[in-house]
Amino acid sequence: MFYERRNLMSRRTVRCKKCENEVEVYQNPIPTVDIIIEVQGRGIVLIRRKNPPYGWAIPGGFVDYGESLEEAALREAREETQIEVTSLKQFHTYSDPGRDPRHHTISTVYIAEASGTPVAGDDALEIGIYDRTNLPPDIVFDHRSILEDYFNSKERVRVKVGKPVKT
């Protein structure tokens, strides 16, 4: 399966208009970041998207050329929520080719903390703070699955010094 998919997706040959040589053109996944922002004891921030696909999403976006993933996560958090975040930690990377209906993207998801009140900015039409029990029904991309992974990771019981502790 992997071999078949790889041969179908990644490259094609075009002829250069200036020199007439054949040139291989590669179509690669686009790197993105998403940032789960925990607002002190209130829940996590979601934005209602201003652009298609419409619905609620974890704040995030495309990584700019010359920008690290961490820089992109901090920038997207600032642009879409108008708050500064701290304690940025990488959570997981999601790469299903169908996760975004527009392109094949690979998203590295971060978790960060914030205080204050987020305000919708940039690509955000509206903003809200949610927990596992009150998530909006129209969550786009694969973000519902990402949030399930996040909430499940928060509920895991870890053994610390011989006794279970909720994390």
Which residues are known catalytic residues?
126
Q: Are 37 and 118 in contact (CB under 8 A)?
A: yes
Instruction: State the Cα–Cα distance between residues 154 and 40, nearest whole angstrom.
Output: 15
Q: Which of 16, 61, 34 is nearest to 145 (CA)?
A: 34
Strands (E) across 22-147 are located at: 22-26, 30-39, 43-49, 56-57, 60-62, 86-94, 105-114, 124-130
